[in-house]
A and B are shown apart, each in its own frame.
Chain A
Amino acid sequence: MTPKSPIYLDHAATTPCDPRVVEAMLPYFTKSFGNPGSRNHSFGWEAEEAVDKAREQVAALIGADEKEIVFTSGSTESNNIAIKGAAYMYEKAPAGSPPGTRGHIITAMHEHKAVLDPCKRLQKEGFDLTILEPPADGIITADMVAAAIRPDTILVTIMWANNEIGTINEVPKIGALCHEKGIVFHTDATQWAGKMPTNVEADNIDLLSLSAHKVYGPKGAGALYVRRRKPRIRLVALQDGGGQERGFRSGTLNVTGIVGLGKACEIAKAEMDRDGERLLKLRRKLEDAVVSQLDSCVINGHREKRLPHITNISFGFVEGESLMMAIKEIACSSGSACTSASLEPSYVLKALGVGDELAHSSLRLSLGKWSTEAEVDYTAEAIVKAVKKLRLLSPLYDMHLEGIDLSKVEWAHH
Chain B
Amino acid sequence: MAYSDKVIHHYEHPRNVGNFGTQADVKTRRDIGVGLVGAPECGDVMQLQIKVNQSTGVIEDAKFKCFGCGSAIASSSLATEWLKGKTLDEGAAIKNTQIVEELSLPPVKIHCSVLAEDAIKSAIADYKAKNGIAADATPAVAP
Contact = CB atoms under 8 A, between A and B. Distances in A.
Given A322-B69, A336-B69, A394-B65, A413 B11 contact: no
Given A393-B66, A398-B65, A319 B43 contact: yes
Contact of B23 (A322, A345, A355, A404): A404
A245 interface: no
A414 B39 CA distance: 8
Interface residues of B, number: 36
B76 to A, nearest CB: 9
A180 interface: no
Contacts, number: 95
A396 to B, nearest CB: 5
Interface of B is mostly: mixed
B50 interface: no
Interface in B1-52: 3, 8, 11, 14, 17, 19, 22-24, 36-47
Contacts of B66: 393-395
13 contacts: A319-B44, A338-B69, A356-B41, A393-B67, A394-B65, A394-B66, A395-B47, A395-B66, A398-B22, A406-B40, A412-B38, A414-B37, A414-B39
Nearest to B47: A395
Contacts of A412: 36-39, 118, 122, 141
A345 B43 contact: yes
B45 A321 contact: no
Interface in B61-81: 65-70, 72-73
A307 interface: no
Contacts of A325: 3, 8, 11, 69-70
A398 B34 CA distance: 15
A1 interface: no
Contacts of A319: 43-44, 67-69, 72
B111 interface: yes
Interface string A386-400: 000000111111110
Interface of B: 3, 8, 11, 14, 17, 19, 22-24, 36-47, 65-70, 72-73, 108, 111, 114-115, 118, 122, 141
A337 interface: yes
Contacts of A398: 19, 22-23, 65
Contacts of B8: 325
B66 to A, nearest CB: 6
Interface in A325-372: 325, 336-338, 343, 345, 355-357, 360
A71 interface: no
Contacts of A413: 39, 42
A414 B111 contact: yes
B1 to A, nearest CB: 8
B23 to A, nearest CB: 6
Nearest to A396: B67
B65 A393 contact: yes
B39 A322 contact: no
A12 B141 CA distance: 43
B79 to A, nearest CB: 14
B40 A322 contact: no
Contacts of A338: 43, 68-69
For A357, A398, A414, which residue has the most chain B Cβ atoms within 10 angstroms?
Answer: A414
A155 interface: no
B14 A411 contact: no
A394 B39 contact: no
Contacts of A139: none
A317 B40 CA distance: 8
Contacts of A322: 11, 68-70, 72-73
Interface string A313-325: 0000111011001
A414 B115 contact: yes
A395 B11 contact: no
A402 interface: yes
Given A338-B69, A413-B39, A414-B38, A395 B118 contact: no
Given A392-B17, A393-B73, A402-B22, A317 B41 contact: no
Contacts of A402: 22-24
- In order of increasing CB-CB distance, the 5 nearest A-B pairs are A356-B41, A411-B39, A357-B40, A395-B47, A395-B65
A172 to B, nearest CB: 37
A362 to B, nearest CB: 11
A379 B37 CA distance: 32
A356 B72 CA distance: 18
B107 to A, nearest CB: 12
A321 B43 CA distance: 10
Given A319-B43, A393-B73, A395-B47, A411 B38 contact: yes
